[in-house]
Amino acid sequence: MTPIAIIEAIATVLWVYAGVGLVEWIRHVARSERRQHIPHMAELLGNLVPAMIALVVVVMAGALIGLPSVVVIIAVLFPAGVAFGLHQSLNDLRETSWRYEGIKLAVILLIAAFVIWRRQFG
């Protein structure tokens, strides 16, 4: 496996994690009271902002220093920031057990493995 394929695989896992987290977040917000929808959205944005600021700082530093691999860093940093923000928002919305998180992670890894396999051989 080439380094680019490894970075792509890591990014795919993070995107799948973010996608599953978004679906779960939407489910929790839809079940909450209607007056809570805007505060939940504001909290999600508040959790996404620090990650996106870090992304902008990395891009600016890469442009100033002249890093040739800043695109590779962005390919992983952006989905990681989205996944982190959704994860933090979900932690405030729900009570979960380690067992639930383990099952969720297993499902995410299976979906990501299927997507990676389809991209490589399909």
**Percent of the chain clearing pLDDT 70 (strictly above):** 99
In whole angstroms, give the CA distance from residue 11 to residue 61: 21
Q: What is the DSSP string of 4-71?
A: HHHHHHHHHHHHHHHHHHHHHHHHHHHHS-GGGHHHHHHHHHHHHHHHHHHHHHHHHHHHHHT-TTHH
Q: What is the dihedral of CA 92, 96, 98, 100, to 10 degrees?
A: -120
Residue type, position 95, single letter = E
Predicted pLDDT of residue 69: 75
Domain residue limits, the chain: 3-121
Average pLDDT over residues 12-30: 95
Decide if pLDDT at 72 tops 90: no
Predicted pLDDT of residue 53: 94
Mean pLDDT of the chain: 91
Decide if pLDDT at 113 tops 90: yes
Decide if pLDDT at 1 tops 80: no
